[in-house]
């Protein structure tokens, strides 16, 4: 079993022992046990409140292994708008409901939710159900800063 206790920022040049693909929700777990596809047992023991980002490098407690975290493709709703104002309005309404949202200048992305999907359609937004990596905002008061 490998126990990873240290997080380092993404660095594509670092050679890692392996990569672990995690959903957005799984990347919020600072203490958890996973089994990789090839049977390795991985345990995270990171500071509470750690939120992992796509590309983060984790170091095990013996300093022998490095693991890269990858954002795993998962079901999402991608929200598209005809105008920037409409997209901002959608972000406002989603923020009022405190749901994790990935925010870009051209789309919003959230976990599937039929009630929110109906609300967004009624506001005039286009919704696409997709399976893609989901990287929601960390929040203004999070312990980690975005990379």
Q: Shortest CA distance to 71 belongs to which of 139, 2, 132?
A: 132
Q: Is 16 left (phi over 0), alpha (psi -120 to 50) or beta?
A: beta
Q: For residue 102, report the phi and psi dihedrals to the nearest 5 degrees.
A: -90, 130
Average pLDDT over residues 88-109: 96
Strand partners, 102: 109
The yes-or-no answer to whether 2-71 and 73-133 have a common fold is no
Q: Rounded to whole angstroms, how far apart are CA atoms 70 and 114? A: 27
Q: What's the pLDDT at 1?
A: 82
Q: Does the pLDDT at position 143 exceed 70? A: no
Please give, one letter per residue, the 3-state secondary structure of 27-38.
HHCCEEEEECCC
Burial class (CB in 10 A: 0-12, 13-18, 19+), 5: middle
Region 5-34: what's the mean pLDDT? 93
Give mean pLDDT, residues 97-108.
96
Q: Give CA 17 to chain center in angstroms.
A: 22
Superfamily, domain 73-133: UreE, C-terminal domain (3.30.70.790)
pLDDT confidence of residue 139: 66
Helix (H) or strand (E) holding 116: helix 114-122
Q: What CATH superfamily is the domain 2-71?
A: Urease metallochaperone UreE, N-terminal domain (2.60.260.20)
Confirm if 81 and 64 have CB atoms less than 8 A apart: no
Q: Where are the domains of the chain?
A: 2-71, 73-133
Under a CB-based contact definition with an 8 Å cutoff, are residues 61 and 72 in contact? no
């Amino acid at each position: 079993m490998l126990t990873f206790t240290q997080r380092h920022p993404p660095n594509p040049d670092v050679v890692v022992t392996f990569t672990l693909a995690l959903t957005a929700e799984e990347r919020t777990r600072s203490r958890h046990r996973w089994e990789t596809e090839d049977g390795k047992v991985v345990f995270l023991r990171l500071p509470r409140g750690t939120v992992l980002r796509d590309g983060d490098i984790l170091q095990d407690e013996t300093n022998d292994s490095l693991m890269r975290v990858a954002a795993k493709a998962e079901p999402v709703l991608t929200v598209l708008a005809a105008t920037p104002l409409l997209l901002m309005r959608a972000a406002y309404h989603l923020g009022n409901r405190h749901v994790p949202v990935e925010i870009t200048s051209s789309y919003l992305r959230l976990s599937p939710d039929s009630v929110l999907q109906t609300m967004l359609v009624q506001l005039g937004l286009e919704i696409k159900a997709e399976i893609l990596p989901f990287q929601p905002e960390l929040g203004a008061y999070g312990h980690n800063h975005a990379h």
